[in-house]
Amino acid sequence: MRRTPLVGVATVAALAAGTLAVTGASSSSHREAPKILTDPTADNTDLYAFTAKDAPGSLTVVANWIPFEEPAGGPYYGKLDPTARYYVKIDNTGDGVEDVAYRWKIKQKFRNPDSFLYAAPQVTSVDDPDVNFVQTYDLYKETYRKGKLKKTLKLASGLPVAPDNVGPKTIPDYSPIFNGAVKSIPGGGKSFVGPADDPFFLDLNTVFDGINIDKPGRPNIGLGNQGGGKDDISGYNTHSFVLQVPESEVTRNGRAVGSADASNAVVGLWATTERKQLKVLRGRKGKKHVKAHWVQVSRLGNPLINEVIVPIGSKDKFNRTGPADDAPNFGAFAVNPEPARLLNALFNLGVKETDRTDIVQALLTGVPDLTQIGDNPVPADTLKLNLGVPPADMENRFGVLAGDVAGFPNGRRLADDVTDIELRVIAGALLPDDQGGKQIPLGDGVDQNDKPFGTSFPYVAQPTDGFTGLSKRTEPAHAPVPQPPTGG
């Protein structure tokens, strides 16, 4: 026992203090607040919101947690944190404060506490008793007025989190299990929680190595947008929380949206994770002021904001603050975006570096007559979706930039190429020509996800299974080849 506590804590300490990207060597949303990288179960990776073609009149949300899940997880497959609160929050009044929130609470158990097998062959359904490690969730709907919680409604309890796709021996056919985790909820909605192929696609090196779009062997891949990027998220899984609810559940007046210019048409969404603060020492006299309350540890609205716009010293602050305070906290970073300076420094593109109200509009206040909530919205990093815009017949990965107003930044569909869109917006795609507008075909060379998305709920692609998963098995020290030696 000697020293164990110290060494142990030092270990955790060291690990947690390791701080930077390392645990996230594999990390996805990808490389943001140093701290959050050591905290995968709380890490929001992406948020999508759109009107699905097969569900007009409903809001569809996909919120993902846990970056870079290895498909081959051994007994330690993707796990959600039963002590955390997972949230999708919705602002329908334009003040950057939640009016409606959906909250997931995870519960877990080993069916056979003496076994550490994740599941035994063969698993054929979502509630198959051969699945040994089981996670379920309760779903709550919270209603707020001016940021104060008014009502909590338990929509469902004990719904299954889809088990991981261990491999063909244990799970010969994953589809019934994946689809079996789709459940109806009262009031006419659907819910799914489970592992899925991470729908994000991006060349991490290209974007994070100093927007390194000029690479040896593939020059100008970004500038010419000739494809050829490497999807670094390919083959990794994530945990998707997919929710589909009637518009009337989330609009400001509780009614369905009549048209794109209706006053209740636009909602702003973001996802958060909360963890409980503990009192360090229990039962100490005179130190009662510390309450065990919930603290927000991660937040995500528009894609790549914390990764690209917020500078490194402020990333933690972004994660613990709310959208309503974005203007004072981070507004300057959007008005004078660092990536614009970077683009100029690297490629001498002559991009406008200051006073970028176009970026503020696209991301924070909303595009007038499309994603602006009310007349005078508070600038807030929420993913704004106009529920009155019908889904496009032919989706364009460039969304609004290409005239497809049903796509990003009007909400975000799974296939929207937000990396390319944001690079181009930063380069001036939304500015009028006389104010530095530039149509530069920037991009990371990855234009679509490696797996096709579904056309029906839950839309995300099934997770890569653990057996055929990408896990690049290194080949350290092979066992000797079992062949009889032949003398020379």
Partner 1 sequence: MRARRLTAVALAFVAALAVFAATRGDGPAAAGPPTGLALDARPADSTAEEVRRLQAAVRRGEPREAELAAAYAQRARETGDPSFYARAEAVLGPNPAGAPALTEAAALAAARHDFRGALGLARRARAAAPDANAAFPVLVDALVELGRYDAAERTLQRMIGRHPDLGGYARISYLRELHGDLGGAAAAMARAVAAAGSARSFAADTNALLGELELRRGRETAAGRAFRLALAAVPGHPAASAAMARLAAATGRQDVAIARWRRLVARMPLPEYAIALGEAELAAGRSGAAERAFALVRAQEAILRDAGVDVDAELAVFEASHGSARRAVTLGRRAWASAPSVRSADALGWALTRAGRPETGLRWAHRALRLGWRDPLALHHAGFAALAAGERAEGERLLRAALRDGLAINPLLAAEAREALR
Partner 2 sequence: MRRALLIAVVAALLAPAAAAAHPLGDYSVNHLAEIGVSSDRVDVRYTLDRAEIASVPLRGQSDAEVLAGVEDEVADRLVLEADDRRVLLAVTGARLTRPPGRAGLPTTRAELTLRARVTDPSRVVLRDGTYRGRIGWKAIVAQPGEGTAVVADVPATDPTGGLRRYPADRLSSPADVRAATLRVEPGDGTLEARGSDAAPVASGDGRGGDPLTDAFSDAAAGKGALLLLLALAFGWGALHALSPGHGKAMVAAYLVGTRGTPRHAIALGGIVTVTHTAGVFALGAVALALSATVLPEDLLPWLELTSGLLVLGVGAAVLRRHLRHRSAHRHGHHHHHGHDHDHGHDHDPGHSHVPPERITSRGLLAMGAAAGLIPCPSALVVLLAAVAQGEIALGLAMIVAFSAGLAATLTGLGLAVVLAGRAIGRLPVPRGVVAALPALSAVAIVGVGCMLTLRAVPHVA
Q: C-beta of 7: minimal distance to partner 2 in Å?
A: 16
Q: Which does 53 bind (CB under 5 to 8 A by kind): partner 1, partner 2, none?
A: none
What x-and-dash track marks residues 447-476 binding partner 1 by CB under 8 A?
Answer: ------------------------xxxx--
**Beta carbons of 43 and 23 less than 8 angstroms apart:** no
Q: How far apart are CA 483 and CA 327, in angstroms?
A: 69
Task: Spell out the residues 6+ positions from residue 57 whose beta carbon is closer than 8 angstroms to its own.
Answer: 246, 247, 256
Q: Which does 8 bind (CB under 5 to 8 A by kind): partner 1, partner 2, none?
A: partner 1
The owner of tokens 């540890």 is: 297
Q: Which of 4, 83, 175, 486 binds partner 2 (CB under 8 A)?
A: 486
Beta strands 148-160; 183-185: pairing state: unpaired
Q: Which amino acid is at 454?
A: G
- Residues in 281-320 at the binding interface with partner 1, rule: CB under 8 A: 281-283, 290, 295, 297, 312-317, 319-320
Residue 134 phi, psi (nearest 5): -120, 130
The answer to whether 394 contacts partner 2 (rule: CB under 8 A) is no
Q: Which does 18 bind (CB under 5 to 8 A by kind): partner 2, partner 1, none?
A: partner 1
Q: How far apart are CA 269 and CA 96, in angstroms?
A: 9
Q: Which does 205 bind (CB under 5 to 8 A by kind): partner 1, partner 2, none?
A: partner 1
* Nearer CB in complex with partner 2: 215/438: 215
Q: Which does 279 bind (CB under 5 to 8 A by kind): partner 2, partner 1, none?
A: partner 1
State which H helix or E strand residue 14 sits in: helix 4-17
The owner of tokens 């006419």 is: 188
**Can you read off the two tokens belonging to residue 321?**
């603050």
Q: Which does 481 bind (CB under 5 to 8 A by kind): partner 2, partner 1, none?
A: partner 2
**Can you read off the two tokens belonging to residue 174?**
């994953």
Q: How far apart are CA 288 and CA 324, in angstroms?
A: 31
Q: C-beta of 420: minimal distance to partner 2 in Å?
A: 32
**Interface stretch with partner 2, choices 26-34, 101-109, 313-321, 478-486 (CB under 8 A):** 478-486
Q: Which does 480 bind (CB under 5 to 8 A by kind): partner 1, partner 2, none?
A: partner 2
Half-sphere exposure of 289 (CA within 13 A, CB side): 2
* Nearer CB in complex with partner 2: 282/478: 478
**Interface stretch with partner 1, choices 10-18, 138-146, 221-229, 366-374 (CB under 8 A):** 10-18
- Residues in 211-270 at the binding interface with partner 1, rule: CB under 8 A: none
For 9-165, where are the E strands, in sequence order? 44-50, 58-69, 85-91, 100-110, 133-145, 148-160
Instruction: Name residue 190's beta-bridge partners.
Output: 184, 244
Instruction: Name residue 64's beta-bridge partners.
Output: 46, 240
**Beta carbons of 77 and 133 less than 8 angstroms apart:** yes
Q: C-beta of 484: minimal distance to partner 2 in Å?
A: 7
- Residues in 448-477 at the binding interface with partner 2, rule: CB under 8 A: 475-477
Q: C-beta of 488: minimal distance to partner 1 in Å?
A: 34
Residue 239 phi, psi (nearest 5): -105, 120
Q: C-beta of 267: minimal distance to partner 2 in Å?
A: 50
- Residues in 407-436 at the binding interface with partner 1, rule: CB under 8 A: none
